[in-house]
Amino acid sequence: MCIHIVMTDDLARIAIWDPDEVSIRVARSAPARDALQEVRDILMIDLGAPVSRGGPMRCFCGMRVELPYELLPCFLTAEAG
Ligand SMILES: [Zn+2]
């Protein structure tokens, strides 16, 4: 079962790994860039996913991790402008 990413309200941290749901919970209030970095760290450091610098994030099995639209690059660009 692959890791998925869910946006969550009222999270004490930017992002946390939830082993029960096989998901990484991301605080909706966190800046998207920080959230992406945190998600990447959790995937690579805590979960042993392949390093994907600059590329799409990957699950520990190598499959691409689907990002919620809040974290997609096009949304970030829109937000910055
Ligand atoms: Zn997987």
What's the pLDDT at 74? Answer: 65
Radius of gyration of the chain (CA): 12
What's the pLDDT at 63? Answer: 92
**How far apart are the CA of 49 and the centre of ligand 1, in A?**
9
**How far apart are the CA of 64 and the centre of ligand 1, in A?**
8
What's the pLDDT at 80? Answer: 55
- The Cβ of residue 7 has, within 10 Å, a number of other Cβ atoms equal to 17
**How far apart are the CA of 33 and the centre of ligand 1, in A?**
23
Q: Alpha-carbon distance 24 to 30, whole Å?
A: 14
Domain spans in the chain, listed from the N-terminal domain onward: 4-80
Q: Alpha-carbon distance 81 to 8, whole Å?
A: 24
Give me the tens of pLDDT residue by residue for the chain, a chain 81 residues long.
899 999 999 899 999 999 999 999 999 999 988 999 999 999 999 999 987 677 788 999 999 999 998 898 766 566 555
